[in-house]
């Protein structure tokens, strides 16, 4: 795929009309990978605007699913000085320090037997340490208090539909104003790995509302499209629509290299057993997830074309991980260190985009991810400076 036009070449008249979005995929311990991208992006912004610059100062919306929701909350929750609770450089260490306690690993000789018993009797992990550390770090912070707009999708198992926690929605519906810790626990409750999570909010006017949540990775592992949807409903009506442009940095958490593909002649003979498990994989689940991802990719690209924002979109993803590194929970020191290495190497890989016909990531001839993030930092800095100076192109 050849994209000769450089990324983030912004017409000066478009500054201030940019709607800036940072999106972070789900993926358990693989949240380490986007944390390295975010650390680099923030460091590039700090070279321009000083050491106090933070990611939340530069994005209109930060969206995250599952582990991405945790990163979103860490970047946007306020500390006692009403500044972001975490600097970007601290997020990687959060994962390295706490993942081994969230996903405790047993001796490999007995791990498989233990995992089989746990899978048959309940979630693989009890989630108690995750609940504890999130409540400790995020405290009494509610959704409406984030330092920029956030979008964190979950799935309500009782309502059987997605529940999207959004800074925009909470302004109109205060029953959505949950604790960030509760939202994070809900969005990270991946079926079979962590228990579903129940909590309630109590608004004086709207009364008690209950939530019964699991990870929304089953439907929106990449929340970019949801973030654009919120912007289309809430921000665009306040602007001249022909001038609106999206600047999107979408960060994946890596995925396993696809080894097995199937053709119609082969699967035409399958019974239920083969659809559920074949060659160590689960074709039915994999096909379901890939189909949703493909539809979302198509829909997202349509939006980018409508708003003439194709060259303002950066997707960073590695789809070549092996089975161990691509796991959501193998939190051994070796595997966590390997994820750090994957993230660091990904910075210097070429910018790539999904071929919508094949679903395969292909280089775009637009430099490296490191170079693209550095360019994005310059645009974000200029956009913020002009807006604050009251430029006619400001927000």
Asked if residue 164 belongs to a domain, the reply is yes
Q: What is the pLDDT of residues 262-319, one digit of tens each?
A: 889 989 989 998 888 887 778 887 777 778 888 888 999 999 999 999 999 999 999 9
Question: Which pLDDT value is given to residue 78?
Answer: 98
Asked if residue 318 belongs to a domain, the reply is yes
Q: Which of 215, 221, 303, 318 is catalytic?
A: 215
Q: What is the pLDDT of residues 129-160, one digit of tens each?
A: 999 999 999 999 999 999 999 999 999 999 99
Q: What is the CATH number of the domain that holds 45?
A: 3.40.1090.10
Q: Hunting for tokens 């070549």 — which residue is that?
A: 320
Q: Which of 23, 35, 66, 381 is catalytic?
A: 66
Question: Which pLDDT value is given to residue 394?
Answer: 40
What is the domain range of residue 378? 12-264+307-388
Res. 240 pLDDT band, cuts 50 70 90: low
- Sorted by sequence, the CB contacts under 8 Å of residue 63 that are 6+ apart come out as 21, 22, 23, 24, 72, 150, 151, 152, 153, 223, 224, 226, 227
Residue 393 has pLDDT above 50, yes or no: no
Q: What is the pLDDT of residues 199-212, one digit of tens each?
A: 999 998 889 999 99
Q: What is the pLDDT of residues 19-55, one digit of tens each?
A: 999 999 999 999 999 999 999 999 999 999 999 999 9
- Sorted by sequence, the CB contacts under 8 Å of residue 125 that are 6+ apart come out as 102, 103, 104, 193, 194, 329
Q: What is the pLDDT of residues 321-361, one digit of tens each?
A: 998 999 999 999 999 999 999 999 999 999 999 998 888 88
> CA 88, CA 107: separation in Å to the nearest integer?
33
> CA 304, CA 300: separation in Å to the nearest integer?
6
Residue predicted with more confidence, 27 or 220: 27
The predicted model gives 171-187 an average pLDDT of 97
Asked if residue 285 belongs to a domain, the reply is no
Q: Do residues 317 and 34 lie in contact, with contact meaning Cβ atoms separated by under 8 Å?
A: no
- What total of structural domains would you count in the chain? 1
Asked if residue 54 belongs to a domain, the reply is yes
Query: Which residue, among 65, 14, 47, has the nearest Cα to 252 in the 3D structure?
Result: 65
384-392: list long-range contacts, CB under 8 Å, 24+ apart: 384/49, 384/57, 384/58, 385/49, 386/15, 386/16, 387/15, 387/16, 391/15, 391/16, 392/16
Question: Which pLDDT value is given to residue 290?
Answer: 79
> CA 311, CA 307: separation in Å to the nearest integer?
11
Asked if residue 301 belongs to a domain, the reply is no
Asked if residue 284 belongs to a domain, the reply is no
140 is catalytic: no
Q: What is the pLDDT of residues 79-112, one digit of tens each?
A: 999 999 999 999 999 999 999 999 999 765 555 6
The predicted model gives 102-125 an average pLDDT of 73
375 is catalytic: no
Question: Which pLDDT value is given to residue 392?
Answer: 47
Question: Which pLDDT value is given to residue 186?
Answer: 98
Asked if residue 329 belongs to a domain, the reply is yes
Question: Which pLDDT value is given to residue 117?
Answer: 63
Asked if residue 196 belongs to a domain, the reply is yes
pTM, two decimals, is: 0.93
């Amino acid at each position: 795929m050849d994209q000769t036009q450089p990324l983030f070449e912004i017409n000066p008249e478009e500054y201030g009309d940019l709607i800036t979005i940072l999106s972070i995929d789900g993926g358990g311990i693989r949240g380490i990978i986007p944390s390295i991208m975010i650390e680099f992006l923030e460091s590039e912004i700090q070279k321009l605007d000083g050491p106090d610059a933070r990611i939340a100062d530069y994005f209109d919306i930060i969206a995250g699913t599952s582990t991405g929701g945790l990163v979103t909350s860490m970047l946007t929750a306020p500390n006692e000085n009403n500044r972001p609770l975490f600097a970007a450089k601290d997020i990687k260490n959060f994962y390295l320090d706490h993942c081994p306690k969230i996903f405790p690993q047993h001796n490999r000789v007995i791990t498989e037997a233990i995992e089989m018993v746990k899978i048959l009797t309940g979630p693989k992990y009890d989630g108690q340490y995750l609940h504890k550390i999130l409540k400790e770090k995020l405290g009494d912070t509610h959704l409406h208090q984030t330092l920029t707009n956030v979008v964190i999708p979950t799935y309500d198992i009782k309502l059987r539909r997605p529940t999207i926690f959004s800074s925009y929605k909470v302004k109109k519906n205060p029953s959505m104003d949950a604790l960030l810790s509760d939202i994070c626990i809900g969005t990270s409750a991946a079926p079979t790995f962590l228990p579903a999570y129940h909590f309630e909010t109590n608004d004086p006017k709207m009364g008690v509302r209950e939530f019964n949540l699991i990870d929304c990775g089953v439907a929106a592992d990449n929340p970019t499209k949801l973030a654009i949807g919120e912007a289309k409903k809430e921000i665009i009506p306040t602007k001249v629509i022909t001038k609106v442009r999206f600047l999107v940095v979408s960060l994946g958490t890596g995925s396993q290299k696809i080894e097995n593909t199937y053709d119609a002649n082969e699967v035409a003979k399958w019974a239920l057993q083969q659809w559920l498990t074949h060659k160590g994989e689960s074709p039915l689940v994999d096909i379901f997830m890939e189909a949703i991802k493909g539809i979302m990719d198509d829909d997202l690209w349509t939006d980018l074309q409508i708003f003439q924002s194709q060259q303002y979109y950066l997707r960073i993803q590695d789809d070549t991980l092996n089975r161990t590194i691509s796991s959501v929970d193998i939190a051994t020191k070796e595997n966590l260190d390997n994820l750090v290495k994957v993230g660091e190497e990904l910075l210097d890989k070429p910018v790539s985009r999904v071929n919508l016909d094949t679903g395969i990531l292909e280089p775009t001839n637009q430099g490296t991810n490191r170079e693209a993030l550095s360019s994005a930092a310059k645009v974000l800095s200029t956009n913020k400076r002009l807006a604050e100076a009251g430029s006619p192109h400001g927000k």
